[in-house]
Amino acid sequence: MINMNENHISKNIEKIRQNINLACKESGRKADDIIILGVTKTIDAEDIKKAVDEGIYHLGENRVQEFLEKEDKIDNVKWHIIGHLQTNKVKYIIGKTFLIHSVESIKLAKEIDRLSSQKGITTDVLIEVNVSGEESKYGIRCEDIDSFLDEIDKFNAVKVKGFMTMAPKDAADNEIRQIFRKLYKIYVDISQKKYNNISMEYLSMGMSSDYELAILEGANIVRVGSAMFKQ
């Protein structure tokens, strides 16, 4: 049974890479520039290790508690926090993440900055943007990005490395692409401005159902969970 599961995860990852190669070829990009972020929500450590064995070195957790349960069990990986992050949970993850994807309030950014300063480190984050305007989604509005970044630029121990967004569930491909395209344009525009602690290096867009569309529209991090670990 273990070998069957391992083979299944291996085949899933092979298919994901094939799809990424095709999307990159279509958009004139290099597959090596795309980070495949394995979303490990509800996935046990043994299956995660099988993905790591296949070269998935970036892992993303939605919940802090799950992250804390798994981080010591998986070696030689870079952990991302991709779910909604409460300010009272920040203390548990400072110094343990490659990127926090879900910064969507000054209050949260301020707490990350405060605790990072206490530890003498800098924490890299992405700003979560609610491009679609859905009330059920977290994230700042596109029209608030400039003022939000101006505020965060005053911090010393937080570095903004780019943006993250999610497309509406069950939206048509054309609508999804428009949402991703809109954030990519903002990403490029911001990259041309001068800030002290803000640089546009990562654009985290796309999940299992739409990662290929995200790559076509400029994403360089795709968050893939069910497509990687499904039986």
Read off the pLDDT of residues 140-160 as tens digits, 9 standing for 90 and up: 999 999 999 999 999 999 999
Task: Indicate the pLDDT class of residue 12, thresholds 50, 70 and 90.
Answer: very high
Q: Helix 173-191 and helix 145-152: axis angle, to 10°?
A: 40
Percent of the chain with pLDDT strictly greater than 90: 92
Tokens standing for residue 118: 């206490």
Global pTM reads: 0.94
Q: What percent of the chain has pLDDT over 70?
A: 97
229 SS3 class = helix
Decide: 116 and 158 in contact? Cβ < 8 Å. yes
Beta strands in the chain (DSSP E): 35-39, 58-61, 78-81, 99-103, 123-128, 158-164, 198-204, 221-224
Q: What confidence category does residue 4 fall into, taking pLDDT thresholds of 50, 70 and 90?
A: very low
